[in-house]
Structures are given as C-alpha cells and as structure tokens.
DNA sequence: GGAGTAAAATACCGAATGGTATAAAAATGA
DNA sequence: TCATTTTTATACCATTCGGTATTTTACTCC
C-alpha cells in the first residue's frame, strides 16, 4: 500500500528532523501519497505520529532494550550502551523517542500516551537491569536502583541528543563514560 | 514606554512556556500593546526574542556566572551550582537559554547568534573555573578541562530541563550530585 | 463493453501565523 | 485655536497549518 510507504517516509522525516516541524503536507509530497489517503489510513496527524513512533520502537529502540536484557555484567553492558548512544549510525540524527518526549506538549493525545508508555517501559528496563547488577554486587553502594535507572535513562538521552546536535562521537563517548562511571562499584577511575 | 512592558511580558512568556509556542499576537494581547508598536520597537519577532534573551542573560544567567567567579573551592562551587539548578525558584520553569538552544533551528538569525554567544561564554566560564580548580589540584586526574567544562554545562542544562518537566527538586539534586561527583578528585562517594 | 464501486487527486475550508497599510487619535508647536 | 506630526488601533495581506468535500480516475463484476 502507498500508506505503508508514507509511514516509512514519515518515520525518517520525523526522526531526522524535528517531529513538530514536519507537516502532513510535506510527508504527502515526499511520499507521493494524497492527503485523503493518508488520513483514511491514520485518521489524523496524531495517528500518523503514533504509528511512526510504534514502528520506531520496534525498529530501533528494541535494540537498546535487547542490550539490557542480554544479561551481561555491569561494565560490559554500560559499554554497549555507550557504544549504542555515541556511535551507532542510526542514532546519528538523534532518537525519535527523546525528541518527542522533549516536545511532548506539541503532540496529540495518542502519541503522547505512547511516549509515556515507552518512558515507563524504558525506566522499568533500566531498573530491572540495575537491580540484577546490584544483586550481583556490581552497583555502587548506597545507590537507589530507582534513581540510578532514571539517571541512566537521562544520560543516554542526553548523549544521543548531543550527538544529534553535532557533537563528535568521541566527545559524546567521553562525557558518557564520565557520567556512567559513577554507577560502578569500584568508583570510576578517570577516563583517558 | 509600553514596549518596555511588552519586553517583560515576552520574557516571562518565553521563559515559562516554549519560546516557539508563544506568538507575537499573544504577547501583544498579554501586554496590552498594539502590534505595530511592538514592531516599531523590535523590528521583528527575531528582534523581540533576542531582546528577551539579552534581558534574561542580564537578569538570570548572570547569577550563574557569578557563582563561577566567586573563587570558591571545587566542592563548594559545585554545591552552589547544584543549588542553583535544582532549587532556585527562578529555574522552576526551566532556563530560557537552554530552551532556545534546544530549539535553535526555530530561531531567527539574531537570536540564534546570541544563543551561540552565550553558549561560548558559558563554556569559557566553566573552563576558567575548572582550570583554576585544576591548578589547585582539586580536579580529578586525567580530565581535560575543556571536556569537563562541556560536561558541566550539559549536566546543568539537563538538571534544569528535568526540573522544568516536573521532576522533583530532590530527585534532580540527587542526579546532579551523582553526575558532578565525578569531577572531584577524591572520587565521589555514593549519594544517599 | 457498460454499470457500479472503491480509491485517488484537486480544490477547498477555517484558523492561526508573522508582518503591514491605513485610519483614528493624541500630543505638540505656533 | 488650528495645523502638523507622532503614536496608537483596526483592519488587512499572504502563507501555512490540519483536515475535508467534491470530483475524477481506476478497477471490478456481470
């Protein structure tokens, strides 16, 4: 279907740019799809945005969650997260989820609800991972798993956002190593 | 002049909300100023935004810079920065500078240039402060002053942004203490 | 091939945007 | 007091937005 192509076009347009700055008209033009067709398929701009976010979660965020569920050690997993946020080419232009969350007030109700869902799921994923590492004695003492999960999520978001704004991968990586080192028990030593 | 009042209204409106979501019409209505008057004074929306940002830098950001220039020790100064970002009531609804920087692509050329100026000035301020603390032997070993300055600036921005999005001051403070502890030599101990 | 139906394209709508021309009003000078 | 000039207010313009009504095309079934 043409509407399916439109969804792909919308996803990449929202992802590369700012979701609030991509108009329905532009998506129709880019995808070669008429506006009524698009509205028949998705109902509204909110519906299209939500569908794009759904696809994004399946396509890109799932990789992030997979890292957390691999069951690796703390250091190894944090390294993988740092790699993902600072070097994965797909994140070069930012993370659609974080972009949408940053401009949540501009979203329709359905998309906003999905953003909140993903936010909760991500926090839960971080918390489950950190809980396991804490039970393995790898987490820094006196750190609340809940707070550390929020911290980890925000630092990943910050890193991806910085990268999207033109910061070099090396610099983003350095900042992230600095920020995440504080989660480790031994206490992070200085980064090279 | 009435235009002066309009500038105040614009500043608070931009500051409390999203600068991109506050229209010139709304500002005129709120300030009781006619649109032609406002345009005679500021030339364009870009001019008004820039003037508001100027005033913001004088009024709010100067306090932040003052903390850096007080010449206190590393720990003391970081604590003051944490207080400012996580507890100052003026930052309750976010930082206009960081808001504008986050939506830089939506700004006119004059406002954007001012954002870049402030960005540079802030980085330089952080760097000068950290340089001094490094020479006093308080900074963690192996840390580039330049990178640490960027890190510090981003963490402050993240904290204020989080607070504006509804996070509790206590939680923001906890995350910030965690993030900034890594700058200290002794290596930060865990936060309660 | 022609009737009926499903899809698509064009053209349109009302609202809101930044910005301005014009008309009304107020203040100033003689 | 009258004329001039400056400031203010109303009304308007062109464009863009999300969303639809209408018309035209294409396809299916008999």
pLDDT exceeds cutoff 90 at A3: no
A14 is a domain residue: no
Average pLDDT (B172-187) is 91
State mean pLDDT over A22-32: 92
Residue A83 lies in a domain: yes
Inform me whether the pLDDT recorded for A192 exceeds 60.
no
- Is B133 part of a structural domain of the chain? yes
CB proximity B37–strand D (7 Å threshold): yes
Q: What is the mean pLDDT of residues A57-79?
A: 95
Give the pLDDT score at B129: 97
Name the band, by pLDDT with cuts 50, 70 and 90, for residue A185: confident
How many structural domains are present in chain B? 1
**A106 DSSP assignment:** G
In a domain? residue A2: no
State yes or no: pLDDT of B189 exceeds 50. no
Give me the domain span that covers residue A57: 45-181
Give CA–CA dist A5/A19, Å, rounded: 18
What is the radius of gyration, based on Cα positions, of chain B? 18
pLDDT computed for residue B4 by the predictor: 78
Given A102, A141, A154, which is nearest B102 (Cβ)?
Answer: A102
pLDDT of residue A126: 98
Q: Percent of chain A, pLDDT > 70?
A: 95
Residue B99 has pLDDT above 80, yes or no: yes
What A118-124 contacts at long range (C-beta under 8 Å, 24+ apart), as own/partner pairs, is A118/A53, A118/A57, A118/A61, A121/A65, A122/A61, A122/A64, A122/A65, A122/A97, A122/A153, A123/A149, A123/A150, A123/A153
Q: Please report the pLDDT score of residue B187 as a whole number.
A: 53
Does a structural domain hold residue B129?
Answer: yes
Residue A2 is predicted with a pLDDT of 65
Does residue A4 lie within any of the structural domains? Answer: no
Cβ proximity of B157 and B61 under 8 Å:
no
Q: How far is CA B71 from the centre of its chain?
A: 20
Burial tier of A159 (Cβ tally within 10 Å: 0-12, 13-18, 19+): buried
Strand D atom within 7 Å of A35 CB: yes
Side-chain half-sphere CA neighbours of A132 within 13 A: 13
Half-sphere exposure for A24 (CA within 13 Å, toward CB): 15
In whole angstroms, D22 C1' to A44 CA is 20
In whole angstroms, give the CA distance from residue B179 to residue B162. Answer: 14
pLDDT at B188: 45
Residues 6+ apart with CB under 8 A from A93: A15, A16, A164
Strand partners, A184: A139
Distance, Å, B38 CA → D14 C1': 21
What is the rounded average pLDDT for all residues in chain B? 93
Q: Gap from B141 CA to C13 C1', in Å?
A: 66
Work out the mean pLDDT of chain A and round it to a whole number: 93
pLDDT above 70 covers a percentage of chain B that reads 95
Q: Pick from B179, B182, B190: which is nearest to A143 by CB? A: B190
Nucleotides of C under 7 A from a protein CB: 7-11, 16-22
> Which is higher by pLDDT, B187 or B39?
B39
- What pLDDT score was predicted for residue A14? 97
A92: three-class secondary structure by DSSP: coil
A24–chain B nearest CA distance, Å = 18
Do the Cβ atoms of B147 and A174 come within 8 Å?
Answer: yes
Q: From the Cβ of B6, is strand D under 7 Å away?
A: no
Please give the Cα distance from B13 to A169 (Å, whole number).
36
Q: What is the pLDDT of residue B1?
A: 59
Rounded mean pLDDT, A26-43:
92
Model confidence at A191, pLDDT cuts 50, 70, 90, reads very low
Question: Is B160 within a domain?
Answer: yes
pLDDT at A24 over 50: yes
Residue B191 lies in a domain: no
In angstroms, the CA B184 to CA B192 distance is: 17
Q: Residue B86 is part of a domain; what is its CATH number?
A: 1.10.357.10
Q: Which of B123, B112, B131 is nearest to B50 (CA)?
A: B112
Grouping H, G, I as helix, E, B as strand and the rest as coil, residue B139 is: strand
pLDDT per position as a tens digit, A153-165:
999 999 999 999 9
Q: Is the CB of A20 under 7 A from strand D?
A: no
Res B38: pLDDT: 93
CB count within 10 Å of CB B2 equals 13
User: Tell me: the pLDDT tens digits for A116-164?
Assistant: 999 999 999 999 999 999 999 999 998 999 999 999 999 999 999 999 9
Residue B2 has a pLDDT of 66
Is the sign of the CA dihedral A165, B130, B175, A85 positive or negative?
positive
- Comparing CA positions, the residue from A102, A106, A82, A94 lying closest to residue A171 is A82
Identify the pLDDT of residue A140: 94
Residue B167: pLDDT band with limits 50, 70, 90: very high
């Amino acid at each position: 279907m043409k509407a399916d192509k439109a969804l792909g076009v919308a996803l990449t347009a929202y992802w590369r740019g700012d979701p609030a700055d991509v108009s329905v008209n532009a998506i129709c033009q880019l995808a070669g799809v008429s506006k009524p067709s698009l509205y028949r398929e998705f109902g509204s701009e909110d519906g299209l945005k939500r569908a794009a976010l759904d696809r994004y979660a399946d396509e890109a965020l799932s990789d992030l969650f997979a890292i957390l569920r691999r069951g690796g050690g703390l250091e190894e997993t944090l390294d993988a997260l740092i790699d993902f946020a600072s070097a994965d080419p797909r994140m070069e232009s930012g993370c659609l989820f974080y972009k949408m969350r940053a401009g949540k007030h501009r979203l329709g109700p359905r998309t906003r609800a999905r953003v909140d869902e993903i936010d909760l799921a991500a926090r839960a994923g971080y918390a489950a991972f950190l809980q396991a590492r804490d039970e393995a004695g790898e987490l820094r003492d006196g750190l609340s798993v809940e707070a550390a999960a929020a911290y980890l999520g925000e630092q990943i978001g910050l890193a991806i956002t910085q990268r999207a704004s033109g910061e070099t991968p090396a610099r983003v990586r350095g900042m992230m190593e600095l920020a995440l080192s504080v989660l480790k028990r031994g206490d992070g030593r200085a980064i090279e």
